[in-house]
Amino acid sequence: FPNHTIINRGFGGSTLPDVIRYAPEIILPYHPKQIVIYCGENDIAEDTAITPQQVLNRVKTLLSIIRKKYTNIPVDYISIKPSPSRVQWQQKMVAANQLIQAYLEKQPHTRFIDVYHAMLNADGTINETIFINDRLHMNAKGYHIWQKILEPALL
């Protein structure tokens, strides 16, 4: 996003409890104009007993931490993406996305950004051509899809 000043505070393998734990260091000190969050996929993949409601509760906790310092800054949550290597949890990811979206629609200055559906084929299967060989991380085509969706949402 060359037309935007972005401070990338993401870290690989993170879960919502990680982001919650490190929020005082990775989110709160920066006085951002906008906060964009992508997290939740690893929560489901690493704790197969977790429920979509528990993922939502984690999102609520993180948003609460952010709102204690930044009451009016836009917070955008990017949907959990479908990954071919994690297809066995796809239903749980869809359910978590639906809960998170419904919750955020009722919160001021928040938005749910759906990348999930743009990563599917017409028949509803995951588009495997947008992933590298590990079937988890996206290739340039996958990131281009995200870029087209995210660019209009960035301040």
* pLDDT for residue 8 is more than 90: yes
Give the tens place of pLDDT for each residue, 114-123. 999 999 999 9
- Statement: residue 2 has pLDDT above 90: no
Percent helix, strand and coil across the chain, each to the nearest 5: 50, 10, 40
CA dihedral 33, 17, 39, 152 (to 10 degrees): -10
Asked if the model's pLDDT at residue 48 lies above 90, the reply is no
Neighbours of 96 (CB within 10 A): 26
pLDDT at 66 > cutoff 90: yes
Taking Cα atoms as reference points, which of 63, 92, 57 lies closest to residue 77? 63
Residue 118, token pair as written in the block? 């743009």
Q: What structural domains does the chain harbor?
A: 16-153 (3.40.50.1110)
Distance of CA 21 to the CA centre of its chain: 17
Angle at 91 between CA 57 and CA 124, to 5 degrees: 130
Beta bridge partners of 76: 36, 111
pLDDT tens digit sequence for 123-151: 999 999 999 999 999 999 999 999 999 99
The model's pTM: 0.95
Q: What's the chain's Rg over C-alpha atoms?
A: 15
pLDDT tens readout for residues 81-122: 999 999 999 999 999 999 999 999 999 999 999 999 999 999
